[in-house]
A and B are shown apart, each in its own frame.
Chain A
Amino acid sequence: MIAFILKRLVWMAITLWVVFTVSFFLMRSVPGGPLDQERTLDPEIKANLEKRYHLDEPLWKQYGRELGNTLRLDLGYSFRLADFRVNEIIAQGFPISASLGIVALFFALSLGLTAGIISAARRQTVVDVALMLAATIGIALPNFVIAGIMIILFVFLLPVFPAAGWGTLGHLVLPGFCLGAPYAAYIARLMRTGMLEVLSQDYIRTAYAKGLSTRAVVLRHALKNALLPVVSFLGPAIAGILTGSLVVEQIFAIPGLGVHFIQAATQRDYTLAMGLVLLYTALLYTMNLLVDISYAYLDPRVELE
């Protein structure tokens, strides 16, 4: 187990290094550096600015410096938000994105599992068909369209939630839902299939034979095993929610990491963009690791290699 985790961590380090190197050289190869302004800078002023950010040094030297700093977990100052260190920006944005992600995951799991279980239990009925149709639509619509429709419905026609911003629980509901909806749909479908498969197995028949009610059979005996496909989907789902937040944060003006990343990439804020890519890579790796471990925990047949 420990050996497994260690091995994965080594791979993670290698991945991070590759991502770092590739993005470093990509970013520096772009003409029109981060110091471009509408006013043409006086050459002297520009030289002073470049010196300040070490852009006047040869590339390999910049690379060495950046790598060293990154290893010390010091991501330097942001180019565009000059008052902040990248670490500070991440520290401010991460909890916001994380809680948005958790709310989205909560929506995805609660709606998805409920719908899946009901659908499986009421197989081949109107309820089943309706739920599965809704799920398929959820998968088929881009989340910015869902968000647009939600805003029309719940902000303007029926003013229950604020239009945008961050602060109260009310601010979380709409973006959380829009972010979680497609994953709820996937989970519902997975849950339904998993449930149907489990329900056709012998031990369930035994349970029925014992005279247990459908509810008891489904919830107490079938659920745990039917969850397996859902758990293995959690890895990609978390990744998707992380990246989906790029759009949702933009629409609802939520000051999370997604917005920071898009801004950093389009404004060529080298340091911030790099920091965020590295953070997301590490995050994704860790999530996948956790999912693998929890999978082993849920299913004794699986062994970690």
Chain B
Amino acid sequence: MMKKAVPYLIAAVCLAVMVWAVSFGTLPEADFTFCNGDEIKTVDPAIVTGQPEGRIVGALFEGLCRWHPKTLKPIPGMAQSWDISDDELTYTFDIRRGALWSDATPVTAHDFAWSFRRFLHPATASEYAYEMWYVVGAQKYSSGKVMIGDPVEIELKEKPPGALPYAAGITLRGELLDIKHKKVALPNEPVYVVKVDGRQRQFQKGATEAGTEDYQWLIYDFRSVGIRALDDRTLRIRLRHPVPYFLNLMGFYPMSPVNRRCVETHGYPVWTKPENIVCNGPFRLKFRRIRDRIRLVKSTTYWNRDNVRLKVVDALAVKSNTTTLNLYLTGQADWISTVPTEIVPDLMRREQADFNPAPFLAVYYYIINTTKRPLDDVRVRRALALSIDKRQIVEKVTRAGQTPARSLVPPEVSKYVDYVPAQCGRYNVEEARRLLAEAGYPGGRGCPKIEILYNTSEAHRAIAELIQSQWKRALGIDVRLRNQEWAAYLSARRQKKYQIARAGWIGDYVDPNTFLDMFVSDGPQNQTGWGNPRYDKLVEAAQREKDASKRMQYFHQAEQILMDQLPIIPIYFYVSTSMIRPYVKGFYPNIQDVHPLWAIWIDREQKARIFKEEGL
């Protein structure tokens, strides 16, 4: 009897599993579906990096400012207005009346102060923290390092009574008097002597002895950082030097506020779960299916909800470009941001004309390790740069309307700021040969072998191969190619275990600074071993300069040095490769490829018509 039932039982179980697994797929359709690249890392604004994450965070949260979808100019967001002092060092934001969290509590200036503090705190380990280091004391605070004489805050392990589960411990403030190193008992942990409320107290990590106290964090006092909520509606931020794009930064997604109560109740990352998250943006998180989709629904508490026209949005996590295109062409996605490069010419010829590459604030370039022979010779570098036929690269390999690059900063920025990039020389084989001969390698004879490093990708390989053959033909030098997986490639770059390496950079904001401050002598992104004191000075002077035209002049001069010395060879400027259905309205091409969802809407009639025409 039992034995007879077994096969039926197994069949029933299988059927049940199948029905269950399929059942959670029956969803109401979204108004707008787009492919968001790879699965995002997190929706916590303080931790995210990357475009896909930015799109989601930008929909869920709103910072002090927003970016205008067409011009990218900062427009009021959570702050309804602001005051800038005459020296451009103090910004006073007036928080919008009626700005609400999704739990219907008001958004206050204190929320921002607390969020910025969390963003900068060493425990958060935010990768974008450096974007806030323009603020007085911010770098010191987020580094976690203290010096004698500093005002410090000490977070103890015990929590104040009645605190939420993930709230910070009791925080004491005082002046750091001394840092001592004991020989006995925890010799690696320094003892900090701090004057708290007129009394000297000693703190040591993991302390057990009498006279010293254990602590969680001992860092620079946040009260000395230039961020302060004057009252519920007024937030004041003080900067170290004028930053013309500071308001733009305040619209950048990592600067979004988070809800203190929510974060302290659940802790990271549990607070980001759809059932817990409290946000202040135009959309709310409905659910996340890993590597499938993120569903967003319109927020009912957003201050500008009347102007948000999408109700349900799906962000698909699809990695393969081919699959992405298939989804678009079968009507399952309305907007895709990448296409397979092989068929770009075919896409350009489509009669629907829905593939329109637009200039993008990003540059593809080669970095040169200037510590290695023969690349330490500027004439060799110039010869290499002059003998790359960049036009052939964009016409034969990338083929999506990219433009050859003769500067680091994309010239398109001139549409947004008053900057004209300094340029390096045009393609000139004769001159290149002459320079190489001058450097002692006529016709490439005696020139040590050069190697190009790139991260594994067909496109990078094709470009490297083309450059390899161009150099061989023009200069007669032998070039080897080496490809590495992403992580390995990065560490090789960092440790300068390369000669020439492929690189790319996407600007964080529309200002030459985002490109040019990479190559200051000790900059963390400068992996070329190149340094030029005059360049450093010019970049720093530009950063401190209030006068816009002078500032741009400094940048121009700095870039001129860069293009003269060529520790990098710019190759081409990227284009954004979006495909967007024509019935999607409120979508404007712009240089940062940012398309806020609150501005987008769907023309349903047109959609129905187009789908009918295409038989979908």
Q: State if A and B touch, Cβ cutoff 8 Å.
A: yes
Q: Are A32 and B490 in contact (CB under 8 A)?
A: yes
User: In A260-305, which residues have CB < 8 Å from any B CB?
Assistant: 260, 263, 266, 268, 297
- How many residue pairs between the two chains, A and B, have CB atoms under 8 Å in the bound complex? 151
Q: Are B129 and A268 in contact (CB under 8 A)?
A: no
B527 at the interface (CB under 8 A from A): yes
- Complex CA gap A89/B289 in Å reads 9
**Using Cβ atoms and an 8 Å threshold, which residues of chain A touch B144?**
44, 48
Are A83 and B49 CB-contacts (below 8 A) given A39-B127, A95-B17, A167-B26?
A: no
Q: Are B21 and A95 in contact (CB under 8 A)?
A: yes
> Nearest chain A CB to B140's CB is how many angstroms away?
11
Nearest CB to that of B456 among chain A residues? A266
- Complex CA gap A49/B46 in Å reads 13
Nearest CB to that of A36 among chain B residues? B487
Q: Are A82 and B292 in contact (CB under 8 A)?
A: no
**Using Cβ atoms and an 8 Å threshold, which residues of chain B touch A172?**
22
- Complex CA gap A166/B24 in Å reads 10
Q: Are A38 and B490 in contact (CB under 8 A)?
A: yes
B125 at the interface (CB under 8 A from A): yes
**Using Cβ atoms and an 8 Å threshold, which residues of chain A touch B41?**
80-83
**Using Cβ atoms and an 8 Å threshold, which residues of chain B touch A235?**
none
**Using Cβ atoms and an 8 Å threshold, which residues of chain B touch A42?**
129-130, 524
- Complex CA gap A106/B320 in Å reads 28
**Using Cβ atoms and an 8 Å threshold, which residues of chain B touch A250?**
320
Q: Are A99 and B487 in contact (CB under 8 A)?
A: no
Q: Are B42 and A98 in contact (CB under 8 A)?
A: no
Contact among B269, B273, B316, B524 for A82, CB-based, below 8 A = B269
Q: Are A45 and B320 in contact (CB under 8 A)?
A: no
- Complex CA gap A81/B41 in Å reads 5
Nearest CB to that of B504 among chain A residues? A38
**Using Cβ atoms and an 8 Å threshold, which residues of chain B touch A165?**
292, 316, 327, 332
A120 at the interface (CB under 8 A from B): no
0/1 interface trace, chain B 29-51, chain A, CB 8 Å (1 if under): 00000000001011110010100
0/1 interface trace, chain B 295-319, chain A, CB 8 Å (1 if under): 0000000000000000000001111
> Nearest chain A CB to B323's CB is how many angstroms away?
5
**Using Cβ atoms and an 8 Å threshold, which residues of chain A touch B371?**
none
Nearest CB to that of A105 among chain B residues? B14
Are A268 and B487 CB-contacts (below 8 A) given A163-B327, A169-B22?
A: yes
- Complex CA gap A190/B328 in Å reads 42
Q: Are A297 and B292 in contact (CB under 8 A)?
A: no
Q: Are A83 and B43 in contact (CB under 8 A)?
A: yes
**Using Cβ atoms and an 8 Å threshold, which residues of chain A touch B18?**
99, 102-103
Are A255 and B289 CB-contacts (below 8 A) given A36-B491, A99-B21?
A: yes
- Interface of chain B, helix or strand or loop or mixed? loop
A92 at the interface (CB under 8 A from B): yes
> Nearest chain B CB to A242's CB is how many angstroms away?
15
Nearest CB to that of A34 among chain B residues? B487
0/1 interface trace, chain A 118-157, chain B, CB 8 Å (1 if under): 0000000000000000000000000000000001000100
Q: Are B269 and A255 in contact (CB under 8 A)?
A: no
Contact among A33, A95, A168 for B26, CB-based, below 8 A = A168
Are A93 and B323 CB-contacts (below 8 A) given A163-B332, A167-B27?
A: no
User: In B469-521, which residues have CB < 8 Å from any A CB?
Assistant: 485-488, 490-491, 494, 504
A201 at the interface (CB under 8 A from B): no
- Complex CA gap A4/B124 in Å reads 51
- Complex CA gap A81/B47 in Å reads 12
B80 at the interface (CB under 8 A from A): no
Nearest CB to that of B143 among chain A residues? A44
- Complex CA gap A45/B27 in Å reads 41
**Using Cβ atoms and an 8 Å threshold, which residues of chain A touch B292?**
165-166, 255
A241 at the interface (CB under 8 A from B): no
Q: Are B127 and A37 in contact (CB under 8 A)?
A: yes
**Using Cβ atoms and an 8 Å threshold, which residues of chain A touch B20?**
95, 99
A159 at the interface (CB under 8 A from B): yes
- Complex CA gap A102/B44 in Å reads 36
B1 at the interface (CB under 8 A from A): no
Q: Are A83 and B17 in contact (CB under 8 A)?
A: no
Q: Are A155 and B488 in contact (CB under 8 A)?
A: no
- Complex CA gap A82/B44 in Å reads 9
- Complex CA gap A155/B27 in Å reads 22
> Nearest chain A CB to B17's CB is how many angstroms away?
6
How many residues on B have C-beta within 8 angstroms of the other chain's C-beta atoms? 61
> Nearest chain B CB to A46's CB is how many angstroms away?
8
- Complex CA gap A43/B239 in Å reads 24
0/1 interface trace, chain B 265-291, chain A, CB 8 Å (1 if under): 000010011000000000000001111
Q: Are A155 and B21 in contact (CB under 8 A)?
A: no
**Using Cβ atoms and an 8 Å threshold, which residues of chain A touch B126?**
45
> Nearest chain A CB to B514's CB is how many angstroms away?
12
Q: Are A36 and B490 in contact (CB under 8 A)?
A: yes
User: In A238-271, which residues have CB < 8 Å from any B CB?
Assistant: 250-253, 255, 259-260, 263, 266, 268
- Complex CA gap A93/B122 in Å reads 34
> Nearest chain A CB to B79's CB is how many angstroms away?
27
A31 at the interface (CB under 8 A from B): yes
User: In B513-538, which residues have CB < 8 Å from any A CB?
Assistant: 524-525, 527
Q: Are B17 and A171 in contact (CB under 8 A)?
A: no
- Complex CA gap A36/B269 in Å reads 20
- Complex CA gap A96/B42 in Å reads 22
**Using Cβ atoms and an 8 Å threshold, which residues of chain A touch B490?**
32, 36-38
Are A255 and B290 CB-contacts (below 8 A) given A49-B125, A165-B332?
A: yes
Contact among A155, A171, A268 for B25, CB-based, below 8 A = A171
Give the one of B43, B144, B487 with max A CB within 10 A. Answer: B487
Contact among A33, A44, A99, A251 for B17, CB-based, below 8 A = A99
- Complex CA gap A159/B21 in Å reads 24
A29 at the interface (CB under 8 A from B): no
B142 at the interface (CB under 8 A from A): yes
Are A260 and B290 CB-contacts (below 8 A) given A99-B22, A162-B330?
A: yes
Q: Are B323 and A163 in contact (CB under 8 A)?
A: yes
Contact among A32, A41, A164 for B524, CB-based, below 8 A = A41
B428 at the interface (CB under 8 A from A): no
Q: Are B290 and A92 in contact (CB under 8 A)?
A: yes
Nearest CB to that of B145 among chain A residues? A44
- Complex CA gap A40/B492 in Å reads 12
**Using Cβ atoms and an 8 Å threshold, which residues of chain A touch B39?**
80-81, 263
User: In B120-170, which residues have CB < 8 Å from any A CB?
Assistant: 122-127, 129-130, 142-145
- Complex CA gap A98/B289 in Å reads 16
A220 at the interface (CB under 8 A from B): no
- Complex CA gap A255/B39 in Å reads 10
> Nearest chain A CB to B615's CB is how many angstroms away?
8
**Using Cβ atoms and an 8 Å threshold, which residues of chain A touch B332?**
162-165
**Using Cβ atoms and an 8 Å threshold, which residues of chain A touch B269?**
77, 82-84
Q: Are B43 and A155 in contact (CB under 8 A)?
A: no
Q: Are B127 and A253 in contact (CB under 8 A)?
A: no
Q: Are B21 and A96 in contact (CB under 8 A)?
A: yes
Q: Are A164 and B42 in contact (CB under 8 A)?
A: no
A52 at the interface (CB under 8 A from B): yes
Q: Are A297 and B323 in contact (CB under 8 A)?
A: no
B3 at the interface (CB under 8 A from A): yes
Are A166 and B524 CB-contacts (below 8 A) given A37-B490, A92-B289?
A: no
Q: Are A39 and B487 in contact (CB under 8 A)?
A: no
Q: Are A84 and B47 in contact (CB under 8 A)?
A: no
Nearest CB to that of B494 among chain A residues? A40
**Using Cβ atoms and an 8 Å threshold, which residues of chain A touch B184?**
none
Give the one of A31, A33, A165, A252 with max B CB within 10 A. Answer: A165
Give the one of B18, B289, B318, B327 with max A CB within 10 A. Answer: B18
Q: Are B145 and A253 in contact (CB under 8 A)?
A: no
> Nearest chain B CB to A36's CB is how many angstroms away?
4
22 A-B interface contacts by CB (under 8 A): A32-B491, A36-B487, A37-B127, A38-B504, A39-B525, A41-B524, A44-B145, A81-B41, A82-B269, A83-B42, A83-B273, A92-B290, A151-B326, A155-B326, A163-B323, A165-B292, A167-B25, A167-B26, A167-B27, A168-B25, A255-B289, A260-B290
Pairs of residues from A and B, 6 with the lowest C-beta to C-beta distance, nearest first: A99-B21, A167-B25, A32-B487, A48-B125, A163-B326, A255-B292
